[in-house]
Amino acid sequence: MRLVNKIFKHVKNHAFPMTTGIVMLLAACSSNNPNEIAVKPYTCDLEYTRYQATVTGYCQVAAAVLPEEIPVIEKTIELRDVASIPDIFWYSNKMKYSLVKQEEEAPLIFVIAGTGASYQSAKMISLQKTLFQQGYHVISLSSPTYSNFIINLDSTTDFPGVLAQDAKNLYEIMQKVHRQVVTEDNVAATTFSLTGYSLGGAHSAYLAKLDESEKVFDFEKVVLINPPVSLYNSVNILDSYLDLKESGPDAATAMIDDIFTGFANSYANQASSSFSQSSIYALFKEANLSEEELKLLIGASFRMSSSDMLFALDVSYNVGGLIYKNHHINKFESITDSMHRAHVTTFGEYFEKVIVPWQQKIDESLTREELIARLGLKNIDAYLRHSDKISLVTNADDIILADGEVEYLQDVFGSRAKIFARGGHCGNMDRVSFVDYMNSQFEGTTNDIEK
């Protein structure tokens, strides 16, 4: 907990942004050819590693110029009786999502966010711009592991992360959301497609399989972006980054001190106090972070997002893992102690102590190993191998993939797989090569808007 508090303290005191996958989109001139991807004129000269690419983006190669502004409509939908939502979540009593609408009828695409991410995260905004530019209506949904989704889900049994259950819940919500945008925003869809990044990529795979039988959307195209092969493997990899030294949390806290002191000193020496993409790259270059330090930043970012998820789960499902079971938290009660416990709890620990027993109450015959198998793509291997509508894009050095999992993905998807050599985890989602790939998969009707 001291480590996470240290990060918040430094961010507040030094006033510079540090998030996994920093994306700042700047204005640029539009291209004369609507099908030609305009290129930003600058790159960074940081030494490439897959951890650096995950934190700052794959800035050594050119970024695509995407529209500076798109007509995003912020939307909410009531999924459960507001009175049934715990008082502590008074600020989150409807599920939030967004719509980017074309002026005329057009293909519609659903986009699913990654682990712990909202519908308006930086990566989601980048995908919205890419897909809207291609002529799609875009509906963006938060991850089932995002607190606003958990709080508003009308269920007392379906823990997020069990992919088939998540897909069922997402599928029902997608239908309600589609009906809402048709009624309220006059959206006219010619076809339906689907994509998602990270955990949202895995959710997209399960949604595609579910839709094969339900046929509500009859998805024309599905693209999985940087999905985990095994959610269990991936979260354990990320959990491990937060405590890298034998001396444990104290050493990690000292390392955070060193990182932010270096950033603060570099920032103080800049000629300008304003932030731009190049100034952020300059801070990272001068800081010259080691592999351990970059891993620590990634691990801390993951722990902060997973803490929010675990707290929302514990309260919403009355689990008793972080707060006392059957304890009613009102909106004026301090949650400091509960968040302390959430910050020091790894996802692995929560999985073993809470999720496994919870799922075994629902299905007494379920083993731990069977549950782990349900948390990944191998569980639907046969479907993925033979579904021509599904494609995969990932990076060979993706940090969330365990040994052998890149090769597994290549084997499963064959010619439907696009595996870039570099990019880390989702670090190239605004780069020219990635945007060009997405344009080739989602052809739509190119929207020649001003960039």
Q: What is the pLDDT of residues 28-63, one digit of tens each?
A: 223 334 445 666 656 888 899 999 999 889 999 999
If we measure between CA atoms, which residue out of 113, 118, 50, 122 comes closest to residue 298? 50
- Report CA-CA distances (Å) from 242 to 203, 250, 300: 26, 11, 6
If we measure between CA atoms, which residue out of 97, 86, 168, 89 comes closest to residue 137? 97
Contacts of 3 (CB under 8 A, 6+ apart): 242, 249, 252, 253, 256, 300
Three-state DSSP state, 41: coil
Phi, psi dihedrals of residue 230, rounded to the nearest 5°: -130, 115
Report which DSSP code applies to 104.
Answer: S
Query: Nearest 5 degrees, angle CA 250-CA 253-CA 257?
Result: 135
- Asked whether 244 and 215 are in contact (CB, 8 A), the reply is no
- Report CA-CA distances (Å) from 184 to 82, 174, 187, 338: 21, 15, 8, 40
Q: What is the mean pLDDT of residues 175-199?
A: 98
Contacts of 291 (CB under 8 A, 6+ apart): 49, 51
CA-based R_g, the chain, Å: 22
Phi, psi dihedrals of residue 141, rounded to the nearest 5°: -120, 140
Q: What is the mean pLDDT of residues 287-294?
A: 80
Lowest mean pLDDT among 276-285, 331-340, 376-385: 276-285
Residues in the chain: 451
pLDDT over 80 (residue 173): yes
Three-state DSSP state, 338: helix
Spatial separation of the C-alpha atoms in residues 376 and 155, rounded to whole Å: 22
**Lookup: tokens for 417:** 């797989």
- pTM of the model as a whole: 0.84
Tell me the pLDDT of the chain averaged across its residues.
82
Q: What pLDDT score does 106 carry?
A: 97
Query: Nearest 5 degrees, angle CA 33-CA 39-CA 45?
Result: 170
Domains and CATH numbers, the chain: 8-237+380-441 (3.40.50.1820)
Spatial separation of the C-alpha atoms in residues 349 and 365, rounded to whole Å: 22
